[in-house]
Amino acid sequence: MKILVATSNRKKLRELMDILSPYGFELELPEETLEVEETGTTFLENAYLKARAYYQRYRLPTLAEDSGLVVPSLGGYPGIYSSRFHSIDFGGVEHGKDPDRANIKKLLRLMENVEDRRAYYYACVVLYIGDGGVFAEGRCEGAISREEKGSYGFGYDPVFIPEGYNKTMAELPPEEKNRISHRRRALTRLLEVLRWK
């Protein structure tokens, strides 16, 4: 089964292949990256919009994902704005060359006096096959630390402490992160949904 992956991120493709290849899925990157406006207000909607755009162009079943960090004490932010949190109109903007660092800086600043530090990573994956498809959700529960630690991973990993650990996600080697990640959980569930009758 040939499946297109709606991403231009080769690291993400590698992660997806590791999980899906054993099940006979043959993943491919699109020849061309499409500019898809993520106008949705939720992860599900944005993953759907991306998958559908590539399907419409290439007429192949397409897998897309949208994910982010949800902090309930910040009303769910950064949420769908996770990757560009530093630049949006919520608690002031943060400048810097590296968006990941700027996002983290802003998050720690906003949470300086926040006691409830619970947070979770959330991923939604959509496999669109034309006029419909399959979707699945995955979470990784945890908390926001007081300072950055670790150099693995990306995004908010240096300040995200997964439940049951006393290290940040960025201190965990990739194999360990991939075992507990929201993305892994969403994909595992996607496979279960596909087997469901």
Residue 54 makes contact with a copy of itself by CB under 8 A: no
Closest to 28 measured CA to CA, from 50, 52, 1: 1
Distances (CA, A) of 14 to 59, 91, 159, 164: 23, 35, 24, 26
> Which member of 138, 155, 158, 162 binds a copy of itself (CB under 8 A)?
138
Residue 131 makes contact with a copy of itself by CB under 8 A: yes
Task: State residue 15 phi and psi, 5-degree precision.
Answer: -60, -40
Closest to 154 measured CA to CA, from 2, 1, 4, 10: 10
Stretch that binds a copy of itself, among 27-35, 69-77, 88-96, 128-136 (CB under 8 A): 128-136
Residue 3 makes contact with a copy of itself by CB under 8 A: no
> Which member of 129, 154, 163, 167 binds a copy of itself (CB under 8 A)?
129
Residue 189 makes contact with a copy of itself by CB under 8 A: yes
Euclidean distance between CA atoms 4 and 28, whole angstroms: 5
**Which residues would be at the binding site for a copy of itself (CB under 8 A)?**
1, 40-42, 44-45, 48, 129, 131-138, 186, 189-190, 192-194, 196-197
